[in-house]
């Protein structure tokens, strides 16, 4: 029995569930088969066949239907366990584990780093496609390292910090709703002929939901710069000076903070199919090397731990 009133139990259940889910991601990473996010992606693809039209309103409807359904399902799950603390903790932990992707991100970054260390550039370019959407076929060792570090920085925010922050505030509905929105952005939020208009709603919703997490990740990367022998001040300066030149309002600050913390340069020109995008130079240090990939992974893990600790405190806050 829990000798506490229901409000206190709810607070403790959410905090404990988030913490356990974060640990589960570190220990087990994403399930190799039958991942719920992959299932949602297949469902979204089927729905798109019926909702697609080359206009923003159709895309907004597509997002509203899919994300709304997931949020309602999450709310139903949370309501069903609200008087059963153990189940509430477990369901929150499972939802958290399902939406986080930090361990898988680290695994992919490590795989590219090993290929670079072995001098297997062609294999490294191919494995890099698991992390980035840019054309990797002509990248040299330094550009591959830069791409990995940028992906580690951006996705530490998107796949770890942002869902934890929203989960601390909104519980299971916020966790699963965030992952649904993030998945739809990855599927349709592109600047190309098919999705320029239809994907607008998914891209804007993803930007909005990632805003608080990206700022926390940026601050944590700066604060934890000494973990990789960096200077917090350099990270903050790079954020303030360079982030606005990046096309993403959320990736820009995080990547700039990582660049400053690591003492390297990120950003520059990337090629996406037939589209060339200038992402501005982030940081003013030396060019990235394969050795910096390990440093970026170390910083990302530290940011993840810092975020987990922060959101547990947020979840423990008194609320109505």
**Beta-carbon count within 10 A of 191 CB:** 13
State residue 6's pLDDT score: 67
Chunked into runs of 10 residues, the chain (320 residues) has average pLDDT values of: 62 92 92 80 94 96 97 95 90 95 95 95 96 91 96 96 96 96 94 92 96 97 98 97 92 97 93 79 94 97 97 79
Q: Which two tokens stand for residue 176?
A: 């699963």
Report helix, strand or coil for 266. Answer: strand
Q: Is residue 286 part of a domain?
A: yes
State residue 32's pLDDT score: 65
State residue 1's pLDDT score: 40
Alpha carbons 276 and 140: distance in angstroms, whole number: 17
Quote the number of domains for the chain.
Answer: 1
Q: Is residue 49 part of a domain?
A: yes
Q: Is residue 59 part of a domain?
A: yes
Phi, psi of 23 (to 5 degrees): -65, -40
State residue 308's pLDDT score: 96
Provide the residue range defining the domain that includes 236.
6-315
State residue 272's pLDDT score: 80
- pTM for the predicted model, two decimal places: 0.91
Distances, alpha carbon 292 to alpha carbons 74, 302, 316, in Å: 39, 15, 36
Q: Is residue 19 part of a domain?
A: yes
Question: What is the secondary structure of 141-152 as a DSSP string?
Answer: HHHHHHHHHHHH
Residue 129: alpha-carbon gap to chain centroid: 17
Q: Is residue 22 part of a domain?
A: yes
Buried b (16+ CB within 10 A) or exposed e, 25-62: bbeebbeeeeebbeebbeebeeebeeeeeeeeebbbeb
State residue 5's pLDDT score: 63
- What residues have CB less than 8 Å from 83, skipping those under 6 apart? 6
**What pLDDT digit, counting tens, does each position of 217-229 carry?**
999 999 999 999 9
Q: Is residue 1 part of a domain?
A: no
Q: Is residue 320 part of a domain?
A: no
Report helix, strand or coil for 134. Answer: coil
């Amino acid at each position: 029995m829990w000798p506490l009133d229901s409000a206190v139990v709810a607070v403790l259940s959410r905090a404990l569930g988030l913490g356990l889910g974060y640990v589960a991601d570190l220990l087990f990473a994403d399930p190799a088969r039958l991942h719920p996010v992959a299932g949602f992606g297949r469902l979204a693809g089927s729905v798109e066949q019926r909702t697609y039209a080359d206009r923003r309103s159709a895309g907004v409807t597509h997002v509203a239907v899919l994300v709304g359904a997931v949020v309602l399902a999450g709310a139903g799950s949370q309501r069903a366990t609200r008087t059963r603390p153990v189940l509430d903790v477990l369901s929150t932990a499972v939802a958290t584990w399902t939406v986080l992707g930090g361990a898988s991100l680290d695994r992919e970054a490590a795989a590219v780093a090993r290929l670079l260390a072995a001098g297997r550039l062609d294999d490294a370019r191919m494995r890099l496609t698991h992390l980035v959407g840019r054309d990797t076929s002509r990248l040299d060792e330094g550009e591959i390292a830069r791409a990995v570090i940028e992906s580690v920085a951006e996705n530490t925010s998107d796949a770890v910090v942002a869902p934890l922050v929203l989960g601390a505030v909104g519980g299971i509905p916020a966790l699963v709703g965030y992952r649904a929105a993030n998945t739809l952005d990855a599927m349709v939020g592109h600047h190309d002929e098919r999705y320029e208009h239809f994907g607008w709603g998914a891209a804007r919703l993803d930007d909005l939901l990632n805003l608080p997490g990206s700022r926390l990740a940026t601050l944590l990367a700066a604060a934890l710069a000494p973990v990789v022998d960096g200077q917090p001040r350099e990270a903050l300066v790079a954020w303030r000076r360079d982030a606005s030149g990046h096309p993403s309002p959320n990736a820009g600050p995080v990547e700039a903070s990582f660049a400053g913390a690591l003492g390297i340069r990120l950003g520059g020109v990337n090629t996406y199919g037939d589209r060339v995008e200038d992402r501005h130079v982030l940081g003013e240090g030396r060019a990235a090397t394969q050795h910096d990939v390990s440093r970026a992974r170390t910083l990302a893990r530290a940011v993840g731990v810092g975020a987990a600790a922060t959101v547990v405190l947020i979840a423990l806050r008194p609320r109505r």
